[in-house]
Amino acid sequence: MLIEFKKVIPAPIPEEMIEPSEIWDSELRLETGSLVLVSAHSGKGKSTLLHLLYGLRNDYEGEALADGESIRGKSRQDWETWRRRRVALLFQDLRLFPALSARENLELIPVANPRAPSHEEMAERLGMTSFLERPLASLSQGQRQRVALMRVLRKPFELLLLDEPFSHLDEENTRLACALVEEVTQANKAGLILTSLGETPALPFERSLVL
């Protein structure tokens, strides 16, 4: 997959906040398999960037292309295939169901990724085995973040979008989560775009961009 931005400026961001940026109002190419870190302070449009690539926003100027075709021009059916098979997004607000158990949240995936470890293996590696049957509402924010990460890694993807995925994890749990992300991304031969407030997680990023 090739992602291209040609002078993209999202509508919600005031012009005075665009400069300097290596993404907004710039020429950008991201190849399949690239691991990219996007750093910025709050309010610079990190979530907007990922939502644009996931098809949740089209309020922008310029051109955003995927494999040479306009992202904005995709049909509803195209977007359904895009989200089921090609692009997976971990939302900053996690989008989990607090009344369900952690395991039940993990099972809410329409199509599973055969290249990813099982729920049980991922839970063991992330120290979450004893929490799988508990209601999500009873878990800490860091535990919920790990549930959301496990769920997104169980989806098929060519491009993985992670929106501040380790913001509530300590150093050791971040290290474990990074190892799992790297493993599954490599198994899928997929690309990764990860947003951060400035921290650099322990992943082999090929590019680091300032938003």
Strands 60-66 and 3-10: antiparallel
Q: Which residue's entry shows tokens 């290596």?
A: 22
Domains of the chain, CATH where assigned:
3-210 (3.40.50.300)
Q: Note the helical H segments in 83-139.
A: 102-106, 119-125
Residues 6+ apart with CB under 8 A from 187: 115, 116
Find the helix or strand (DSSP H, E) in which 144 lies: helix 141-153
The CA-based angle 160-22-185, given to 5 degrees, is: 15
pLDDT digits (tens, 9 = 90+) for 161-205: 999 999 999 999 999 999 999 999 999 999 999 999 988 999 999
DSSP state at residue 129: G
Task: Spell out the per-residue pLDDT of the chain, length 211, in tens.
Answer: 899 999 999 987 766 666 688 999 999 999 878 999 999 988 889 999 999 999 999 999 999 999 999 998 888 899 999 999 999 999 999 999 999 999 999 999 888 899 999 999 999 999 999 999 999 999 999 999 999 999 999 999 999 999 999 999 999 999 999 999 999 999 999 999 999 998 899 999 999 999 8
